[in-house]
Amino acid sequence: MPEGNGTVALAFSGGLDTTVCVPLLKEEYGYDDVIGVTVDVGQPEYEFDEAEETAEALDVEHFVVDAKAEFADLCLRSVTANADYQGYPLGTALARPVIATAILDVAKEQGCSAVAHGCTGKGNDQLRFEAVWRDSDLEVIAPVRELGLTREWENEYAAEKDLPVEGGDGGRYSIDTNIWSRSIEGSELEDPGTIPDDDIYKWTENPDGKESELLEIEFEDGIAVAVDGEELNSVDLIQTVNETAGAHGIGRTDMMEDRMLGLKVRENYEHPAATVLLTAHEALEGLVLTQEERQFKAQVDQQWSHKAYQGLIDAPIVEALEGFIDSTQERVTGTVTVKLEGGHCRPVARDSEYAVYSEEAASFDSEDVTGGIEQKDATGVAKYHGFQSRLAKQVTAKVKANKENEAVADGGDPESQE
Ligand code: ARG
């Protein structure tokens, strides 16, 4: 048995993958000791209990780091970029750099020589974790990927070693939950043609028969700060909106996702607060940003979201994109009322002192536009509008007619000449 490599800090959930990693890090990689680190980004309580119990049974020192507030702040910041990737508001993706950084901090504090994760070689998370970790001097280890482990092999190994894993994988699906989203994958859901059972959802209820509800979100510099007039910190705000909107069945996404390695996978998510806050934020931008700002920002937002999906929110380009985003968000201050109804959320009112809107100008009732402009001043604009298109069509028609005339004069059939 190799040994003498010191201590390795393992990203630990207490699930099958990370549980089998513990003996393997000693047996296969020669580490003397393994510590487990679980980072709290808003998982349900039972996940911490499971991690704690499993760590104890494995005789692994277990650290829990609370990164909820930091993560919730990042989620609200992602809303300033209207962040979504192919329709998914990036819950898992945004959490990974936060988790990886917290684990690295513990590893350094505890004098570890390496960090390890239990991700497979097929997903995105291996890349997101390692992007953070490889920016340090510590060794990076990915046992599941490097040893080519399968669930079947892991289950057999766990049984043979008498490792504390209940029923193998702890459930039918692979679930990743944090404050921003709940992701459900695996089992029959992998087949894009399967209609999921309603019971895969835990945050969103069937809205049939539920009466609609209005919710007012207040933004300050693009950041949601209050709900229905009550100021809340980022964690409480997201949790409150998750509960309220979840009761209306808002925020279910069933999609094909293009992973970083090129695999196309079927994913199911629920994210009530993300849907509501993104909808409200976009509605407020519609009121306060100019047309060209909105058009250009859509491209900036897409780039930001793509880097976030890759787990690269530390990249220099992200800082540059945020320079633009932040300068627009100074005016994204005000309130938006959304209507929650039948699984959908739509803006029904918005209000801001930065509104690029003049009632006098837009109204059908007043003669004056604004700044002394009158209705009839638009006549010149109307005459020019579409001028190029009209001219292009006229020129084409003229050239065609000339050619036809020439062909007739030559005595041939214009159609057969070419
Ligand atoms: N595919 C998503 C992403 O890469 C989420 C994966 C979540 N993992 C899970 N075991 N459900 O961001």
Instruction: Tell me what pLDDT residue 275 has.
Output: 98
Q: State whether 199 and 344 are in the same domain.
A: yes
Catalytic residues, which ones? Answer: 17, 96, 125, 174
Task: Give the Å distance between the CA of 120 and the centre of ligand 1.
Answer: 12
Residue 189 sits in the same domain as residue 330: yes
Could you tell me the distance, in angstroms and rounded to a whole number, from the CA of residue 174 to the centre of ligand 1? 9
Which protein residue's CA is at the shortest distance from atom 8 of ligand 1? 176
Strands (DSSP E) contained in 342-412 are: 344-351
Please list, residue by residue across 343-363, b when 16 or more beta carbons sit within 10 angstroms of its beta carbon and e when fewer do.
bbbebeebebeeeeeeeeeee
Last residue of a domain, one of 176, 208, 233: 176
> Does some domain include residue 366?
no
The domain boundary residue, chosen from 118, 151, 176: 176
CB atoms within 10 A of CB 127: 16
Tens-place pLDDT, residues 268-307: 999 999 999 999 999 999 999 999 999 999 999 999 999 9
Q: How far is the CA of 257 from the centre of ligand 1 (A)?
A: 10
Alpha-carbon distance of 210 to 203, in angstroms, equals 15
Q: What is the pLDDT of residue 374?
A: 84
Burial state string for 55-90 with b = 16 or more CB within 10 A and e = fewer than 16: beebebebbbbebbebbbebbbbbbbbbbbbeebbb
Q: What is the DSSP letter of 394?
A: H
Residue closest via CA to ligand 1's atom 5 equals 92
Quick one: average pLDDT of 322-335? Answer: 98
Mean pLDDT of the chain: 94
Are 207 and 115 members of one domain? no
Q: Report the residue among 120, 144, 176, 190 best suited for mutation to probe ligand 1: largest number of ligand atoms under 8 A from its CB.
A: 176
Nearest to 95 by CA among 109, 108, 78: 78
What is the average per-residue pLDDT within 384-406? 97
CA–CA dist 381, 118 (Å, integer): 64
pLDDT of residue 169: 45
Contact 13 CB / ligand 1 (< 6 Å) = no
Quote the number of domains for the chain: 3
Residue that terminates a domain, selected from 315, 334, 360: 360
Decide: 11 in ligand 1 pocket, CB within 6 A. Answer: no
pTM listed for this prediction:
0.93
- Domain coverage including residue 390: 374-418
The CATH number assigned to the domain holding 68 equals 3.40.50.620
Give yes or no: residues 234 and 109 share one domain: no
Residue 64 falls inside a structural domain: yes
Would the CB of 43 count as within 6 Å of ligand 1? no
Residues 68 and 134 in one domain: yes
